């Protein structure tokens, strides 16, 4: 609605995992770097945790985007609330793109065949599971652990990336057999005030706006009420710009952010 008001080429604060908007704060850059190491060195498993809305999914999508360009093959699972067979079927379907067998042994043979064929092609396979804190069945973690048994004498045929809210780490710590397979883990923290400022400027610039339209006090209130959580920054900033548009303003003031806060609740 307000896109033409600022002559934007796209909306700047949508809560979608658009990798063009990926902002490399110190924490996000570190998360990306660590997961990149796990994938590039073909390690067994990496874990990324963080509170709701901190940008975990966008880190995963940026990782997928970069490594697909290098020939890596991804199976990206967005809803892991399945039983062990259901999750294995989704993983295989994401790889092959067609109907998968019904029997568990056939699914596992299909996965192994795909892994070995991909290895023969000189490529590497990555399974990325978002919202992994939703996995409640120990059998699912056990099947994921067993997937890591697919390996040659020198390396794993599959790298597993688990991403979720902080309780994921607690679940993994209580599962000693699985936690021993984790190469590294990282917890993503909210942005500080200066990073929030740069985050907003970055998203505005990507959207086509060269100057920061948020006044200093507006930015401070935006940070205060969002807690530095990117999802909440997006929600409040979006509603603040909508409020500015409705009043014919081109600068977002503290009062407009306060209005945006109320509207985004």
Share of the chain above pLDDT 90, in %: 89
19 belongs to a structural domain: no
Q: What mean pLDDT do residues 126-142 have?
A: 94
Asked if the structure places residue 4 within a domain, the reply is no
Residue 12 forms part of a structural domain = no
Average per-residue pLDDT for the chain = 94
**What's 252's domain CATH number?**
1.10.8.60
Residue 1 belongs to some domain of the structure: no
* Pair (149, 101) in one structural domain: yes
| Assigned domain for 10 exists | no
Nearest to 94 by CA among 75, 113, 73: 75
212 and 120: one domain? no
Has residue 224 got a pLDDT over 80? yes
Name residue 151's beta-bridge partners: 156
Tell me if 123 is assigned to some domain.
Answer: yes
Instruction: Give the residue among 196, 199, 206 at the shortest CA–CA distance from 8.
Output: 206
CA distance 172 to 127: 17
| CATH code of the domain containing 56 | 3.40.50.300
Three-class SS state of 215:
coil
127-137 burial string, b = 16+ CB within 10 Å, else e?
bbbbbbbbbee
pLDDT in tens, 41-51: 999 999 999 99
Residues 41 and 120 in one domain: yes
The residue range of the domain holding 150 is: 26-188
Q: Quick one: 124 and 166 in the same domain?
A: yes
Same domain, 172 and 245: no
Using the 8-state DSSP alphabet, how is residue 214 labeled?
B
- Token pair recorded at residue 5: 């008001």
Query: For residue 3, what pLDDT band results from cuts at 50, 70 and 90?
Result: very high
Structural domain includes residue 3: no
Same domain for 59 and 179, yes or no, is yes
Q: In terms of domains, do 173 and 208 share one?
A: no
Residue 72 pLDDT > 90, yes or no?
yes
pLDDT at residue 174, rounded to an integer: 87
Q: 188, 219, 240 — which closes off a domain?
A: 188
Task: Write out pLDDT tens, residues 153-194.
Answer: 889 999 999 999 999 999 998 888 889 999 999 999 999 999
d(CA 249, CA 265): 22
Number of domains in the chain: 2
Give the model's pLDDT for residue 98. Answer: 79
pLDDT tens digits for range 17-35 = 999 999 999 999 999 999 9
Tell me the average pLDDT across 204-229.
96
Helix (H, G, I), strand (E, B) or coil at 45: strand
98 & 218 share domain: no
Looking at 162, 188, 214, the residue that finishes a domain is 188
* Long-range pairs for 111-115: beta carbons < 8 A, 24 or more residues apart: 111/147, 111/150, 112/150, 115/150, 115/157, 115/158
Both tokens of 173, joined, read 């710590």
pTM above 0.75, yes or no: yes
Q: Are residues 172 and 197 in the same domain?
A: no
Q: What gap in Å lies between CA 90 and CA 226, rounded to an integer?
A: 35
Short-list 183, 210, 175, CA closest to 44: 183
Q: Considering the domain boundaries, does residue 47 fall inside one?
A: yes
Tokens of 175: 């599962």
Same domain, 171 and 87: yes
260: nearest Cα among 227, 231, 222, 224: 222
CA dihedral 106, 107, 113, 118 (to 10 degrees): 170
Do 91 and 110 fall within a single domain? yes
Same domain? For 43 and 78 the reply is: yes
Write out the H or E segment, with its range, that includes residue 161: strand 158-164
Choose the final residue of a domain: 147, 164, 188: 188
């Amino acid at each position: 609605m307000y896109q033409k008001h600022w002559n934007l080429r796209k909306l700047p604060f949508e809560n979608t995992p658009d990798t063009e908007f990926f902002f490399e704060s110190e924490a996000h850059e570190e998360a990306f770097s660590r997961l990149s190491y796990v994938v590039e060195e073909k390690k067994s498993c990496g874990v990324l945790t963080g509170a709701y809305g901190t940008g975990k999914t966008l880190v995963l999508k940026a990782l997928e985007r970069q490594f697909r360009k290098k020939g890596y093959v991804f199976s990206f699972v967005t809803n892991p609330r399945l039983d062990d067979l259901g999750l294995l079927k989704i993983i295989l379907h994401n790889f092959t793109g067609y109907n998968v067998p019904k029997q568990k042994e056939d699914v596992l043979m299909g996965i192994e065949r795909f892994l070995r064929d991909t290895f023969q092609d000189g490529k590497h396979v990555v399974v990325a599971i978002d919202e992994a804190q939703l996995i409640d069945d120990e059998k699912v973690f056990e099947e994921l652990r067993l997937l890591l048994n697919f390996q040659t004498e020198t390396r794993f045929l599959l790298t597993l990336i688990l991403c979720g809210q902080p309780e994921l780490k607690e679940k993994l710590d209580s599962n000693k057999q699985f936690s021993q397979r984790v190469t590294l883990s990282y917890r993503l923290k909210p942005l500080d005030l200066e990073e929030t400022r740069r985050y907003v400027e970055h998203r505005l610039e990507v959207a086509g706006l060269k100057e920061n339209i948020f006044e200093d006090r507006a930015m401070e209130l935006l940070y205060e009420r969002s807690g530095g959580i990117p999802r909440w920054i997006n929600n409040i900033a979006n509603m603040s710009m909508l409020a500015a548009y409705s009043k014919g303003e081109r600068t977002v003031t503290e009062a407009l952010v306060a209005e945006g806060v109320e509207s985004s609740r």
